[in-house]
Structure 1
Amino acid sequence: MSLGMIVVLAMAAIFAPVIAPYDPLYQDILARLKGPSAAHWLGTDQFGRDVLSRILFGLRSSLMISGGAVFAAFLAGSLLGLTAAYYKGWADRIIMRLMDVLFAFPVMLLAIGVIALLGPGATPTATAIGIVYTPIFARLLRGPALVVAESDYVLNARAIGASDARIIFLHILPNLVSVILVQFSLLLSSAILVEASLSFLGLGTQPPVPSLGMMLSEGRGFLFLAPWAAVFSGFAILIVAFALNLFGDALRDELDPRLRQA
């Protein structure tokens, strides 16, 4: 079920230029704040723009920003976590203390701080989310990597002269795939909410590019007059976050042998 929902949402985002009934930037002042109808299935906003078209393109923007940010966090966090677990000693202490410094800040506060330095926009938003989630991957992978690094096949690889990079990426990392997949899907759900929150505050994707969080922010000013723009954009955020969370939980139940046996 959750996988089917994710596939449908991903296809809607990918093919948004094809399936969207209108240009998301096109303004029809005569049709502003119109309710759902045959011409505009989800109504129009204060500028007469089609809400459905903007939601489709906003979904595309949110998934691209969040997916790119979480993937970058995975690359940086896994490199730091595996390096700390493999070399131990001072490398472990320095890397993990730096991660603890990042962990000390609340997620939104750190993201806002990064955007304050880089300026608002889609790229700074992705960078901020990537920085926020990097220590999560580093700490998550360090624990099991410490155990795998002491296993017999890793010790044998060292004995025959395999390079450190080969051992880390070909012997240790593949054994952590299940943990990575579960955490990736759960963090992607969280990243969608962070991106929407930043856009809601005016720090994320900038107008006129559609964004679900920005649509929610713009629609709140017309909540009693024309609530559909805010309601439908908020509902879209809810569906995406719910589908990714549900998929992450199902993936964890399937890949965890203890839960599978139970």
Structure 2
Amino acid sequence: MDTLRRRPLLAFALAFVAVQALMAVFAGQVAPYDPLKQDILARLKGPSAAHWLGADQFGRDVLSRIIHGWRASLAVSVAAVGAALLVGGTLGIVAAFYRGWIDRILMRAMDVLFAFPVLLLAIGIVAVLGPQSSTAAIAIAVVYTPIFARLLRGPALVVCESDYVMGARAVGASDGRIMLMHVLPNLASVVLVQTSLLLSSAILVEASLSFLGLGVQPPTPSLGLMLSEGRNFLMLSPWSAVFSGAAILVLAFGLNLLGDALRDTLDPRLRGQE
């Protein structure tokens, strides 16, 4: 609590992201309407007392669909980044711990994945596996795995040469115990900051895939899908496209802000500038 009082930006970022996450988790209770319910008389109508953010081309409430779209976007992004952190982080720590030929093989494999543009690689994976939310999560996880591997390998190289790691080796601790109990905890700050920043990026990639019809499939609400559908009616009723685009912006902004605030709080060099 003292940290939050001394870091108002961190407190604001945590609250900002927490509100959106809670709305996504409890979307069924928070949303004023069923996101699939159609009100034909309200088709393409602007904001009103009945529909605060207007209605789309099928008369579905835009606000309700945005709230449920937050749930879809966060679910895909959290699953993808979590899987990428687990696989990529493990590979990075293993490469730093053993070095030698293991390090060279793992990092060259990561370099191969790095050679592909992020969105093109994700599109290629979804094209092979088929368009749906689960394959979008797999595609994003594959794209972000080398990022976590390279990110954690650098500081892990330093930690693996520290005195306490050498001492653990000297007393006969197993390699797995050393990596889990001594190396990984000292990378927690790097993991937290990069995870929040990559979640923001994953939101944009997921929205891009859904916009192209390769992510969440209709009629399930998705922010990218809403933006894609709404662009066809920009001249008649821009509300669906405008508000879904704003929702993507707000969600990505909150996670970016949280990442920056965490970096400022956890980096000892920046803490010394207070």
TM-score (norm 2): 0.95
The percent identity for this pair of structures is: 72
Give the unaligned 5+ runs of structure 2.
1-11
- Residue in 2 aligned with 1:117? 128
Query: Which residue number corresponds to residue 11 of structure 1?
Result: 22
1:74 corresponds in structure 2 to 85
Residue 229 of structure 1 deviates from its aligned partner by 0.3
Question: 1:46-125, aligned counterparts within 5 Å?
Answer: 46-125=57-136
SS of the residue aligned with 2:217? coil
Question: How far has the Cα of 1:30 moved from its partner?
Answer: 2.4
State the partner residue of 2:185.
Answer: 174
Which one of 192, 205, 221 corresponds to residue 232 of structure 2? 221
2:165 corresponds to: 154
Residue matched to 1:250: 261
User: Which of residues 112, 117, 133 is equivalent to 2:144?
Assistant: 133
Report what 2:270 is aligned to.
259
Q: Deviations over 1:93-138 (max 9, x none)?
A: 0000000000001100110011011110000000000000000000
CA distance, structure 2, for counterparts of residue 154 and residue 35 of structure 1: 62
Alpha-carbon separation, structure 1, partners of 2:40 and 2:264: 51
| Alpha-carbon distance between aligned partners in 2 of 1:19 and 1:112, rounded to the nearest angstrom | 33
2-structure distance, mates of 1:159, 1:256: 30
Per-residue deviation, 1:161:
1.1
In structure 1, what is the equivalent of residue 252 of structure 2? 241
Paired residue type of 1:70:
V
Q: Tell which deviates more after alignment, 183-192 or 22-31.
A: 22-31
Query: Where does the alignment leave 5 or more consecutive residues of structure 1 unmatched?
Result: none
Q: More displaced, 31-40 or 234-243? A: 31-40
- Aligned match for 1:194, one of 181, 200, 205: 205
Q: How many residues align?
A: 262
Q: CA deviation at 1:28?
A: 2.0
CA–CA distance in 1 between the matches of 2:127 and 2:241? 26
Local SS of the residue matching 2:189: helix
Using the alignment, how far apart are the partners of 1:201 and 1:259 within structure 2? Answer: 41
- Structure 1 position 27, deviation (Å): 1.5
The amino acid of 1:110's aligned partner reads L
| CA distance in 2 between partners of 1:7 and 1:153 (Å) | 37
Root-mean-square deviation over aligned CA pairs: 0.7
| Per-residue deviation, 1:91 | 0.3
How far apart are the structure 1 equivalents of 2:26 and 2:176? 39
